[in-house]
Amino acid sequence: MRWIKPYERCPVCGVLYLRNYGDIWMFVIITDRIPIFFGIVALYFGYRSTSWVFATLFFVALFVPMIATMRERQGVAIALDYLWRIWMPDPSDEIHDGRGAVINL
């Protein structure tokens, strides 16, 4: 993965990471919502900003980790998509037709 643009195939075994453009969209949305969940929990349990400084710090505390972990979250989304492809077989997927060195779990 190069910053947030993933490689098309694994350089070692040749497995295709993204079969179709946008396949990982569901998993990206799920992993994006996890950091936002902590802010929602803080607001639910009574956090209120008393000044613009605290509001800015709260915003920064929520979104800096989202920016900093973007690459890792995209990697997790690609891994979850791969597991989805293994567990929900599609005969047109190259993982399931016997080509390549990918072992079907």
The residues spanned by each domain of the chain are 25-87
pLDDT, residue 105, reads: 47
pLDDT, residue 2, reads: 62
pLDDT, residue 56, reads: 92
Q: Which residues in the chain land under pLDDT 50?
A: 100-102, 104-105
pLDDT, residue 101, reads: 47
Q: Which amino acid is at 8?
A: E
Among 68, 70, 85, smallest CA distance to 5 is for: 70
Phi-psi sector, 65: left (phi>0), alpha (psi -120 to 50), beta: alpha
pLDDT, residue 37, reads: 87
Instruction: Return the percentage of the chain with pLDDT > 70, whole number.
Output: 87
pLDDT, residue 24, reads: 81
pLDDT, residue 97, reads: 63
